[in-house]
Chain A
Amino acid sequence: MKPTQWLSRFFLLGWFISLPVFATSDAEALAKRVYERPDGDDRASFGYMVLVEEGHKPRVRGMFSYGKDKSYSDVWSLIRFTSPKDIANTGLLTLDSEAKDSEQWVYLPGLDRVRRISSSRKGGRFVGSDIFYEDLQNRLYTKDNHKILGKAKVNKLDAIILESTPKKADDSAYSKKVSWIHESSLIALKVEYYQDGAAKPMKRLLVNKINKTQGYWTVLESTVTDLDSGHKTIMKVKNVLYDQGLADDMFTVQVLEDPSRETKYRPKQLEQK
């Protein structure tokens, strides 16, 4: 079975692991390796999403996230917000599959009901952050064409620059992505995102901190910056657990609307520093 991707995807690694592969060229081979990067069969984490707007106090949201790889390209995930109080228990369930479009459901405790969210909203912003729904989905690398642009250093680490463009323009929110892939961990240390064929990127991901946990390279902190407005979304992982053996029924609408059913898999909540 292919290594799982959920956690890395949620923490903004999934954007660059979904690069097309036609195993002949170096670029395609690299994209395939990134897609298949080992990250456990399942994972659970607690972390914070920090929204930063210049001149204002940051907004901090606490959340648990769970991920499981059902097959090579079928990946399930669940996010549960814990804070602030007014959004606590709001949840998002995503089932990605190669066969069909991703399926997403949201649970609003204020309404006490689950609703399906349109899966085609690739360019929609996830909970008002700079992360798009597409960034949360498991984009298969074969959907893109890849090209190696060269090598460079990011934060003193050696990286290969990989350009990925969608084969079908309308199945991605982006017209192009350029990723700086760390050679040994296969983590994209930097990604620049382009829209509508523009010459300049519209947002940038920078990985600030990576670490090996339970033998898997894990992104502990990353920042996505909207290059137009300067608005930033910082993702921080405080605690992560791999390979707990998350049950399949963790990723169902029933669990989504009943947070108590997931608590046994929750890693410890750690305060944000």
Chain B
Amino acid sequence: MPGRGKAIACLITLLIMNCIPSLLFLTINNAPEQYLPKSQPSVQFSDELRKEFPEDQVLMVLFEGEGLFSNEVLTKLEKATKAIKKHPKIDRVISVSAVDHIAGTADGFEVLPLMNSKRLRQVKESDRIAYIRDDRFALGALIGRQDDVLAMVVRPELLDDTKQRQEILGFALQELDKASLTSLITAVAGPVPLETYQLASMLRDTFTFVPVTVLLGLVLIALLFRRLLAVVMTLLTIGGVVNVTLLWFIPFGQPYTLISSMIPSLLAALTMAVLIHFYNGLRLASGFKLEGKKRVDWALAEIKKPATYTVATTAAGLLSLAASEIPPIRYFGIISALGILLGFAIVILLLPPIFTYWDKASWPSDNPLMKGLTRTVKKLTIIAIRYPVHVLVIFVIGLVIGIPQIFNVKAETNLLAFFADDHPITIATKKVEEKLTGVTPLEIVIDGDKRDAIKQLENLQLIKKIQTHATEMPEVEKAQSVVDFIEDMHWGFHEEDPSYRVIPDKQNLVNQYLLLYDGNDLYEIVNKEFKRTRILLNLNVHSSRDIRKVVKKLTEYLNANITPDLKWTISGYGKLFEDQEILLVQGQVNSLIGAVILIFVMMFLLWRKLSTALLTLFLNLAPVVVMFILMGLFSIWLDMATAMIAGVIVGIAVDDTIHLFHGFQHSVKHGANPLRALLKSYYQSGSAVTVTTIILGFQFSVLCFSLFQPTVHFGFLTAAGLITALIFDLILMPALIVMTFSFNK
């Protein structure tokens, strides 16, 4: 039987699609570099900088407890420092045993490790805290200002992905454990663990919420349609769509990131929406006593045009994110658009033969849930038709009250705020900042016009002035520059007389000090040409908005003070993070404009009438406005996680409008009275769109139970946007149709 063969072939295809463990093939990488395009000037500058200077994305380990400065603990620390350094991906381990200390003696001068095994013998245990604190490089970085805490900084080489950061973190902790230091570790903070925690959170959410949302959808489908085949096919279709779509990351050369981790939930929900319309068609066809191929053909004919348009508009909404310059957002848009098209293709091509062959029994039509929904939809439609002006007035009043909230929406990303207050990384970061110094690195890069420009006395004085100014800013906890080394050399050569901890007044002496400097640390702050140097700042702020304020203040100061023969650039992790925010806002605006244009064009092609296209467009922009109102109301920032929600909402929300308006227009075209046409469309499709939205809303709401804030915001805003869109479609759209459509004709 040809039908059977086709059905089996389709089923096997679906099963194969489900058997692809796509995540195993993906590069999982949520490194900050992923979030900025290579063409970005700050990224290019940063890449150039890293050729001469080390990475600023580090791992900080804080030690507290009894006997921290004892021979035993410090020896263990030295041992662990050496062991961790052996990892090929670790560039440097900075601890008291491995940091250069410039010191003066009665007749001499030395640059030696601050507190290695040799120093242990020289400095009494009772003097060690004071001795280490006296080193300006160690204070606030390796030893606390007040509390007796020690720190270790592990600096990796430039790493390719999050997996390597995870490996570094695991290796460092393992070596510290081998050295029996685990009991003294009270915090592990910095960009490396932050990123690994993000990865863990996003993977946990993928493996928790995708099955939960799918299961929830399956339960609802089972309750609504009471067809086992529908439940099984839903599971297989969603599995196939998600698996195959994720594989698209490979040809695009993109990793799986925090942003892309939202694709499985999104696709599961959107695919289910298409399926519900198909199943609703089958249910209606079954009600007309159609069977087999006729039933499937009827259902397909019923949904094909609106479903094609809804899929196309959803894909267009998602594709609008391709306008974002942030690669993960761009590819989120492109790949999820491909995913929704794939889902549609499966529903249109693979499911019909399966349902034609295996779907024998009739679909139950006495479903009380469906009946209840239909009744509610009917009531709402009638109210909207009877009182259109009231509906419109309430809508306008709601908007007027809500719109000021939009101005409270902040474009701000704070990676720490992605985690709950009691998350280990939040607690660790707070602790490090409280005991030591800020963990957000920022750097002022100064370029001279020729070799040795940085050695010049006048330039050193200027660098000192900038450093002092930066240190006086409340957001800056620590600042280091080349001047510190020169001052310490001068101080060391004068028996550590504090009055000599200044820049020498003779140029040749500066040059001779620098000739004599025999450590490595200096060249992490100035290049060997002495043409480029960095002033390293540790900020105690984390949000892009606060970092931007610091950058602005520094920019003003540098513009006013720096001499024409020097060039300056603000760079570092903090600056890249701030730039990312600018792109995020630009991307959001571009994406919204793109989505609006694309959807307007599609609406115009569908309705062939400007006023109708504008009406439906307006109805679908309203949920976006509501989304921004909610963001303002609940202090949800426009950040990495929420940046793509507007595009997603516009894309999904338009589905209901198309289904409802298409039914209305179709009936009018076939000569029906407009009022009748409106009621018929709402009675027939209203319950389906309501069911779809309820299922999608539930699925996205489940994400609110995540412990990871980006997932929570994505779930909450998408669910809220969809429910708002449904309410507008059920109440506002009939009111507007009544007010704008000539019902007297």
Which single member of B105, B111, B515 contacts A121 (CB below 8 Å)? B111
A128 and B519 in contact (CB under 8 A), knowing A115-B108, A121-B112? no
Q: A115-B108, A121-B111, A231-B528 are in contact. Are A196 and B512 (CB under 8 A)?
A: no
Q: Is the CB of A120 within 8 A of B112?
A: yes
CB pair B110 A127 closer than 8 Å: no
Q: Are B111 and A87 in contact (CB under 8 A)?
A: no
- Which stretch, B28-36, B190-198, B260-268, B503-511, touches the partner chain A? B503-511
20 A-B pairs besides A110-B509, A128-B518 with CB distance below 8 A are A51-B528, A56-B529, A81-B515, A86-B507, A87-B508, A90-B515, A108-B509, A108-B516, A110-B504, A110-B506, A113-B493, A116-B105, A121-B110, A124-B518, A125-B520, A127-B518, A128-B528, A133-B518, A170-B117, A198-B86
CB-defined contacts of A87 to chain B, threshold 8 Å: 508, 511-512, 515
Interface of chain B: mostly helix, strand, loop or mixed: mixed
Partner of A124, one of B105, B111, B512, B529: B111
* A121 proximity list for chain B (CB < 8 A): 110-112, 518
- In contact, B512 and A108 (Cβ under 8 angstroms): yes
Tell me, in angstroms, the Cα distance from A133 to B111 when the chains sit together: 12
Complex A-B, nearest 4 residue pairs according to Cβ-Cβ distance, in ascending order: A116-B108, A110-B509, A124-B518, A118-B110
B48: min CB distance to chain A, Å: 12
Compute how far the CA of A84 lies from the CA of B529 in the bound complex, rounded to whole angstroms.
15
Cβ B105 vs Cβ A197 within 8 A? no
Question: Is there contact, CB below 8 Å, between A196 and B515?
Answer: no
Q: How many A-B residue pairs have CB under 8 A?
A: 86
Do A53 and B529 touch across chains, with their CB atoms under 8 A apart?
yes
* Pair B108/A117 contact, Cβ less than 8 Å: yes
User: Given A53-B529, A170-B117, A197-B86, is A116 in contact with B107 using a C-beta cutoff of 8 Å?
Assistant: yes
| A220 contacts across to B, CB distance below 8 A | none
Is A57's CB within 8 Å of the partner chain B? Answer: yes
B118 at the binding interface (Cβ < 8 Å): yes
A117-B108, A121-B112 given as contacts; is B512 within 8 A of A90 (CB)?
A: yes
* CB-based contact A125/B518 at 8 Å: yes
Interface size class of chain A, counting residues whose CB lies under 8 Å from the partner chain: 20 to 34
Task: Among A110, A116, A126, A196, point to the contact of B109 (Cβ < 8 A).
Answer: A116
Number of interface residues of B (CB under 8 A): 32
**Residues of A contacting B507 with CB < 8 Å?**
86
B513 and A108 contacting across the interface, CB-CB below 8 Å = yes
How far apart sit A141 and B16, CA to CA, in the bound complex (Å)?
Answer: 69
Q: Report B101-117 residues with CB < 8 Å from chain A CB.
A: 105, 107-112, 117
Distance to closest chain A CB from B561 (angstroms): 27
Hey, what's the 0/1 contact readout for A159-199 against B, CB within 8 Å counting as 1?
A: 00000000000100000000000000000000000001110
Instruction: Verify if B298 is at the interface (C-beta below 8 Å from A).
Output: no
Q: Is residue A267 contacting chain B, with contact meaning CB distance below 8 A? A: no
How close is B523's CB to chain A, nearest CB, in angstroms?
A: 8
A247: Cβ under 8 A from any B Cβ: no
Q: List 17 A-B contacts (CB under 8 A).
A: A51-B528, A53-B528, A56-B451, A56-B528, A86-B508, A86-B512, A90-B512, A90-B516, A108-B516, A110-B510, A110-B511, A121-B112, A127-B516, A127-B518, A128-B514, A133-B518, A196-B86
| Chain B residues, CB < 8 A from A127 | 515-516, 518
